[in-house]
Structure 1
Amino acid sequence: MKKKFLCLFPTGEDIVLVKDVGMIPYYLSKEGYYDSYISFYKPQDELPYLKSELQGLKYIQMNNYFNHEIFNIFFFLLRNLFRFDVIMLFHPNPYKILMANIIKVLSFNKIKFYFKMDADHRVIEQKLAHQSLGGRIKNFLCKRIDLFTAESQEVCNYLNEHTYYDAVRYIPNGCVVSDILSDKVRKENIFLTVGRLGTYQKDTETLLEAFGVVGQYTDWRLVLVGTIKDSFKDYIKDYFRKYPWAKDKVDILGPIYDRNKLLHIYQRSSVFVLSSRYESFGLVLLEAMSQGCYILSTDLSPSKDIIATNSLGALYPVEGKAELAKLMKQIVQHEIVLPEVHLVHEYIKKNYSWSIVVDRIASHLDHEITST
């Protein structure tokens, strides 16, 4: 029988099923490595993506007995001590790592633990040094964990060289990529962003202000997709008063939950802009590039990994309104020649498809495929 893989993400919502939380167990099952399960607090009927996008991924609802995530995970694992072979968790901390060590002892080391760091550059500001007594104890506990992974090379190197984490592996996130680029891709003069509009992390203001510099005398449009923070609505009103012409060139569409509709917007857009102050990875970059979009991104660690060594995008500093405006102007004036869309698609398919990513995860877990 195939070994059983369980992703525990108690606070998960439907949307995370089509991100790394759901895609890793789903593709590990699809590619034949494991019999995969996932567990949230949510009832299954509130997770429509399980049926529409992740058919075959099995679901177990976790009970919120203690109103405390670690206690609930620990109790769940005690009740299912010998049911699963690999447990996947996110955002490790000393308490989760200690809990995992206890479960490993109780299961006679039958269970393997995989922690996905989901860490951005802010981890460098945390006190994770390994020289102290506490750091050495944490390092001892980390050595018993089977796999830690980080999503960017820079963060991975820092964790390995300067913290108590042990042997962190660099494995980026992946993307659902079709074998052949759809013939529906018809690029228009659109700058696109997708995210939680108006949050501090996403810094949508910098993008809008940059477009305010270059957008008036061009046929390019700016399209923004995502939930809109209430406090951001006042900024939008002020923005349109400041740039009245922008009412005809800036489309704020709000959230789009229909995956096909969102895919169509990616297919129409020529350039995707990521203006975030920080990201552990930025899955939207891969989604956009899988549909042939050129990338303009703040110079974050994962963005550097994805585009710094090729001609498929350009980087600019965090909060760099002037630098972003300059890049947008160069695109509008054809000083930056956008790559052919099929070349962008092929790059993502060869380097970031979920099938490739989960193959690396399975290899690090030293998994041998067995037939049912």
Structure 2
Amino acid sequence: MKKYFTLYWPGLQNFHLTKDVGLIPYVFQKHLNYEVSILCGKNEEHYDEVFTKNITLNFMDDEASVTSLLQKTDILMFIGLYDFNLNMIERFKSVNPNGKIYLKLDLNRYWLNRITFNDRSINLLSNNSLVSVESKNLKKIIDDTWPIKVEHIPNGFYDFFDSPLINYKDKENIILTVGRLGSYEKATEIIMEAFKIASEKTS
């Protein structure tokens, strides 16, 4: 019997496929034998064929096809606690009450202070749901303040190149920062300032 996994990500662009947005569906189809779909808005992107191989892109241009996909989906995944996600969770539960929900919060401390709950959101996330946060420190805060249960699942890494394992003693002293360098959220200026201070003390 086939199992179906769907990710709902309305604004899918090609660069998302190398992030958790693309990698989690990729792992579900490659290693867990799920039929995988990404439910998204249609645009002019040419999607990377490596990441979308054996993954169906379902564009939300036909309501009947969206409903059909939701009805057969076993696990529907969301990223971020946004109103548009809650609206889709509500729709999903109305047509597939036994379907399971995975909400990956993708949370940082700035977003933590913006989230509020009401009876509707609590009800939508209480049954047949897995909600996860990436940070242990944020989970501690959530456990004390949120009305729903949240698990700690850190961001992973998928090695497409089958790289050899390196023993700890053979590692080099390299500091690597990865992300949208220069964006406010990544605070690249902090690490640059740290490098400046360190260089002054070692020169």
- Residue 199 in 1 paired to residue 183 in 2? yes
Corresponding residue of 1:180: 164
Deviates most, 21-30 or 187-196: 187-196
Normalised to the residue count of structure 2, the TM-score between the two structures is 0.78
Distance change (3 Å), C-alpha of 1:114 and 1:77: farther
Q: Which amino acid aligns with 1:157?
A: K
Residue among 50, 64, 85 paired with 1:52: 50
**Distance in 1 separating the partners of 2:107 and 2:31:** 26
Q: Which amino acid aligns with 1:46?
A: H
**Distance in 1 separating the partners of 2:67 and 2:181:** 41
Deviation at 1:189, TM superposition (A): 7.5
Contact 1:44 1:61 in 2 (8 A): no
Match of 1:35, SS? strand
Deviation at 1:75, TM superposition (A): 7.6
Contact 2:17 2:23 in 1 (8 A): yes
Contact 1:101 1:144 in 2 (8 A): no
Corresponding residue of 1:90: 79
Corresponding residue of 2:16: 16
Corresponding residue of 1:103: 92
Match of 1:82, SS? helix
Structure 2, unpaired ranges of 5+ = none
**Distance in 2 separating the partners of 1:113 and 1:75:** 21
Distance change (3 Å), C-alpha of 1:40 and 1:103: closer
- Residue 122 in 1 paired to residue 110 in 2? yes
Contact 2:133 2:154 in 1 (8 A): yes
Contact 2:99 2:128 in 1 (8 A): no
Deviation at 1:80, TM superposition (A): 3.1
Distance change (3 Å), C-alpha of 1:200 and 1:32: closer
Match of 2:41, SS? coil
Higher alpha-carbon Rg: 1
Deviation at 1:127, TM superposition (A): 5.1
Residue among 133, 155, 160 paired with 2:138: 155
Corresponding residue of 2:151: 169
Match of 2:151, SS? strand
Normalised to the residue count of structure 1, the TM-score between the two structures is 0.46
**RCO higher in structure (CA 8 A, sep ≥6):** 1
Distance change (3 Å), C-alpha of 1:45 and 1:206: closer
Deviates most, 140-149 or 96-105: 96-105
Counterpart mapping for 1:1-372 below 5 A = 1-43=1-43, 46-48=46-48, 51-63=49-61, 77-93=66-82, 96-97=85-86, 99-107=88-96, 109-126=97-114, 128=116, 135-164=118-147, 166-177=148-159, 178=162, 180-181=164-165, 191-215=175-199, 329=202
Match of 1:198, SS? coil
Q: How many matched pairs? A: 198
The one-character-per-residue Cα deviations of 1:107-166 (angstroms, maximum 9, x if unpaired) are 3x132221111111224423536xxxxx345323321252111111222232233123x2
